[in-house]
Amino acid sequence: MRAAIIVFPGSNRDADVARALAQSGAEVVKVWHADTALPAGTDLAVLPGGFSYGDYLRCGAIAGRAAAMDAVRAHAARGGLVLGICNGFQILCESGLLPGVLMRNVDRRFICHRQLLRVERADTRFTSAYAKNQVIDVCVAHGEGNYFADAETIARLEGDGRVAFRYSDAAGNLTVDANRNGSLNSIAGIYSENLNVLGLMPHPENFVEDLVGGTDGRGLFTSLAA
Amino acid sequence: MKARIIVTLKTGVLDPQGKAIEAALTSFGLSGIDSVRQGKVFDVEIAEEDRAAAETTLKSACEKLLANTVVENYAIEIA
């Protein structure tokens, strides 16, 4: 598994995701946002969390139009894997690689806490190390994570099984309390049509070591490296 | 040529910031404010002399970057 992490001005979780990928055996290279090509043999392009371009205009809006994103779009069109975490998910939506938009959290607050997620399917390149409906314990840290799309798009995502993760309680129930940012249908992450692009707001890369609170995030990276 | 671009949230899209502003205004005792929606204004200076050509350029700017048309509308006013 060769992973290319795209670094934008204001990305700040690139080192964490690099570490999580390397821990699972991936070879990791970093790519500057102004680069026009991904390194030869790239299997996975990663858009890390952070605050690209200071969240100016809209979160991910400017990064979504960066030169490297043309290379990421071409990679995705070839069936290459793309993972966007937090700001990376916002960038994927702004770049048109995923539908919908991440709006300001419903209570207007930046939220930063442990978060339980329900894994919606375990038959993708991103989730094979998990079980369907498994509840995992990871983290969220965002001000704009409130997933929104028009009714038609939501119906298509649901109908095609493209919801990757949902905010849930420990029993896997989709409660209002578990969905702190107000996302439609408790959506925490979605796939592209061909299931090769995943965007999610929570940070699995935060929880890959017992030392820092948990290891439930590892599954995502071991799935990718498998 | 000067132009103003106004970007607003589409009807039905939740606007938590607008709601907070609305609540703050109400808390000042200002009566009669039913609703506040927050938007963005971009003042643009454009070298183009031809209005129609300027409008085409600005429309492209809105579609490509200034507005996220999933949730936002835009209006272009050329001075």
Divide the 226 residues of chain A into consecutive groups of 10 and give the mean pLDDT of each group: 97 97 97 96 98 95 96 98 98 97 94 97 98 98 96 97 98 97 98 98 97 96 94
Closest Cα in chain B, distance from residue A92 (Å): 13
Which residues of chain B neighbour A148 with C-beta distances below 8 Å? 13-14, 70-71
Q: How do residues B42-52 score in pLDDT, each as one tens digit?
A: 999 999 899 99
| Tally of domains within chain B | 1
Instruction: With beta carbons less than 8 A apart as the criterion, state whether A101 and A148 touch.
Output: yes
Tell me the three state secondary structure of residue B75: strand
φ/ψ bin of A23: left (φ > 0), alpha (ψ from -120 to 50), beta (otherwise)? alpha
Tell me whether A62 touches chain B (CB under 8 Å): yes
pLDDT at B12 over 90: no
ipTM above 0.90, yes or no: no
Query: What pLDDT, on the 0 to 100 scale, is given for residue A114?
Result: 96
Tell me whether A70 touches chain B (CB under 8 Å): no
Show the domain range for A202. 2-225
The CATH number that applies at residue B49 is: 3.30.1280.10
Tell me whether B69 touches chain A (CB under 8 Å): no
Which residues of chain B neighbour A157 with C-beta distances below 8 Å? none
Q: What percent of chain B has pLDDT over 90?
A: 75
pLDDT at B17 over 90: no
Name the residue in chain B with its Cα closest to that of A104. B16
Query: What pLDDT, on the 0 to 100 scale, is given for residue B3?
Result: 97
Interatomic CA distance for residues A220 and A218, integer angstroms: 5
Over residues B24-34, the mean pLDDT reads 89
Query: What pLDDT, on the 0 to 100 scale, is given for residue B29?
Result: 86
Which residues of chain A neighbour B13 with C-beta distances below 8 Å? 103, 148
Query: What pLDDT, on the 0 to 100 scale, is given for residue B79?
Result: 86
pLDDT at B30 over 90: no
Query: What pLDDT, on the 0 to 100 scale, is given for residue A138?
Result: 97
| Tally of domains within chain A | 1
Query: What pLDDT, on the 0 to 100 scale, is given for residue A179?
Result: 98
Closest Cα in chain A, distance from residue B72 (Å): 11
pTM for this model (two decimals): 0.94
B70–A101: do the CB atoms touch at under 8 Å?
yes
- Work out whether the CA dihedral A56, A73, A49, A154 comes out positive or negative: positive
The CATH number that applies at residue A148 is: 3.40.50.880
Tell me whether A94 touches chain B (CB under 8 Å): yes
Interatomic CA distance for residues A199 and A188, integer angstroms: 8
Show the domain range for B26. 2-78
CA distances from A176 to A166, A173, A183 (A): 12, 10, 10
